[in-house]
Amino acid sequence: MGPDGAEHDPIGNDDRGAELGRREAALEAREAALAERMNAAEDILAAADQRDAISDARDAAADKREGDLDRAEFMEPEAGYGAHWSERRHAGLDRKHAKSDREASQEDRVALTEDHDEHPGEQA
């Protein structure tokens, strides 16, 4: 017992308990931040996948539209081949927009892999 009649802890169990509590709180904060990042990553990936699917459909429709027009015009004996250049240009623009959407989706995926603070809330 100490001079004031209280139990004295010679090996510092109170300090160890406090340190353990701080470590557990820090771990819980990191786990919560990680869960939040994982949820955000899932949302980003789902949006990127959706944009890719739309881009794929746009590409396929543009290719079909262009091919159908080209074939019909080529096979028509009295049609002037090349009369539908504006439709072909629109199909090409659709493919260009689809490519831009795919690039944006890829950038979102890459952003998920960039360095992030491993221990949010902790200061170096």
Q: Give the model confidence (pLDDT) of 2-50 as tens digits.
A: 555 555 555 567 888 889 999 999 999 999 999 998 998 899 889 888 9
For helices 85-113 and 13-75, give the axis angle rounded to 10 degrees. 170
pLDDT at 34: 93
Residue 118 pLDDT greater than 60, yes or no: no
Average per-residue pLDDT for the chain = 79
Q: How confident is the model at residue 103 (pLDDT cuts 50, 70, 90)?
A: confident
pLDDT at 24: 95
Instruction: Determine what percent of the chain falls in helix, strand and coil, rounding each to the nearest 5.
Output: 75, 0, 25
Instruction: Give the three-state DSSP class for 12.
Output: coil
Averaged over 113-123, what is the pLDDT? 58
